[in-house]
Structure 1
Amino acid sequence: MLSASPMAALFGKSPFKPLQQHMRCVIDCVREVPPLFEALIGRDQRQVSEQKVRIFGKENEADAIKNELRVHLPRSLLLAVDRRDLLELLAMQDAIADVAQDIAGLLVERRMEVPEGITEPLRRFVARCVATCEQAHTIIEQLDELLETGFRGREVDRVEAMIVELGHMETDTDVMAISLSRALFALEDSMPPVSVMFWYQLIQWLGNLADYAEKVGDRLRLIIAR
């Protein structure tokens, strides 16, 4: 008798298929972040709200996959990797979508304006954070190849090189966040204190997108090492 659960069917093909499905949904969510900030820069609050709806919808889809995955993840020792490692990798992926949702929620709950002088640095920062998440997504798409090679050989070397590059990209976002924070600091006297506080929060959350993306790579590196 065939299983009625699509998630269970995916596990029959590969222990990584559901993780890849979840990450695809996560990256779809993150890809809505740049248009969100373009709407903010353009002072188009209606578009900001529409982007929030898209981001929340994608985050909800990721949550549904996450919950299904947790229910159907086998508890036996027949998996290619430890069950706890898979769950921790899932948690890091899911945190990316959660942060995107937090950012969108803040920009709708509190109307914010981009201070003059930080528009272009902000654009570059958002783009780099999203690119870092894209790199994590690309790495997760290699899981099937890793499984086929038994986590050995050239495929492992290739993925490890991609993880190293992911770390460099996350470091870039750290540097950009510091630079953007300094630019904001220079404008503090001309801004309402509460707005300054929320902008620092936004910068931190954007950086968290890249931070959790790097943690996806770190977690996968541990899986490979075992």
Structure 2
Amino acid sequence: MPINSFISLFGRSPIGPMQQHIAKAHECAANLVPFFEAVMAEDWVKVEQVQQEMARLEREADKLKKSVRLSLPKSLFLPVARTDLLELLSVQDKVANRAKDIAGLMLGRQMAIPQTLHAPMRAYVQRTVDASAQALKAMNELDELLEAGFGGREAALVERLVEELEDIEHDTDVMQIGVRQQLFKLEKDLAPVDVMFLYKIIEWIGDVADRAERVGNRLEQLLAR
């Protein structure tokens, strides 16, 4: 029986709400681009505005996550285990959480970024947001993937999207190393506490991309079952 027929008999599919959730998580992560632009311009009024928007989006993502968890039936007449969907939901939620963490720490400490790090940091942040966007793109295929019974052209498409996501995340790994190396050269001219927190922020930016990649990994696990 087609998936839509199952849904009509046994209730609403959880896939749409899960796609709405990752869209909100990505929207939060995407705000890292204007956030860092404001930080580099030392426009702290703008920094706070973007941070507040990111916090709002993260709260909305949390509400969607809770709604999906509460509405997810104990047994689904779908070729997906309930636990798999819950794990996928948890992974995609962490994208927004880490983005919010970055903004909160940088605003709270009014962290300056050395001028020579502006260009590599800008590229690094953008590539991280690219990873989040790719995870959203892959997740948006989940309903069609279910319709196709996790096979055929749709499965091949999702596999390709996940491979592209892995390539993007690898790019962020390489860029993270480069940014760290440049910061290392500047350490003697910066306050030790500032250096420590800059390294933390560089790590957390990479976490956003890593968590986006895990969304793809979860989709691959669904394909394999």
TM-score normalised per structure 1 = 0.94
Instruction: For 2:120, give the aligned amino acid.
Output: P
Deviation at 1:116, TM superposition (A): 2.3
Give % identity: 45
Instruction: Provide the C-alpha distance between the structure 2 equivalents of 1:128 and 1:179, rounded to a whole number of angstroms.
Output: 14
Question: Could you say which residue in structure 1 is the equivalent of 2:202?
Answer: 203
Decide whether aligned partners of structure 1 residues 12 and 77 sit closer, same or farther in structure 2, where only a CA change above 3 A counts: closer
Q: Hey, what does 1:4 align to over in structure 2?
A: none
Q: CA deviation at 1:28?
A: 1.1
Aligned residues: 218
Which one-letter code corresponds to 2:133 in the other structure? E
Partners of 1:29 and 1:59 within 8 A in 2: yes
Amino acid at match of 1:17: G
The Cα of 1:13 is off from its aligned counterpart by 4.0
Taking only aligned residues, the RMSD between alpha carbons, in angstroms, comes to 1.5
Q: Is the counterpart of residue 108 in structure 1 residue 76 in structure 2?
A: no
Asked if the contact 1:14/1:144 (under 8 Å) is kept, the reply is no
Tell me what 1:73 maps to. Answer: 72
Contact 1:188 1:196 in 2 (8 A): yes
Match of 2:191 in 1: 192
Aligned counterparts of 1:214 and 1:119: Cα–Cα separation in 2 = 25
Question: Residue 133 of structure 2 corresponds to which residue in structure 1?
Answer: 134
- Aligned letter for 1:47? K
In 2, the alpha carbon distance for the partners of 1:36 and 1:59 equals 15
Aligned partners of 2:14 and 2:68 also within 8 Å: no
**What does residue 212 of structure 1 align with?**
211
Question: What is the CA distance between 1:76 and its match in structure 2?
Answer: 1.4
Counterpart secondary structure, 1:194: helix
**SS at structure 2 position matched to 1:211:** helix
CA apart distance, 1:77: 4.3
Q: Which amino acid aligns with 1:38?
A: E
- Matches of 1:12 and 1:114, distance apart in 2: 51
What aligned pairs does 1:11-160 form with structure 2 within 5 A after superposition? 12-160=11-159
Q: CA deviation at 1:108?
A: 1.3
> Can you give the 5+ residue segments of structure 2 that lack an aligned partner in the other structure?
1-7
Moved over 3 A (4+): none
> d(CA) in 2 for partners of 1:79 and 1:151?
11
Moved more, 78-87 or 159-168: 78-87
- How many Å separate the matches in 1 of 2:168 and 2:55? 26
Instruction: Give the match's secondary structure for 1:117.
Output: helix
- The equivalent of 2:220 in structure 1 is 221
Match of 2:177? 178
Q: C-alpha separation between the residues in 2 aligned to 1:77 and 1:133?
A: 28
When normalised by structure 2's length, the TM-score is 0.94
SS in 1 for 2:128: helix
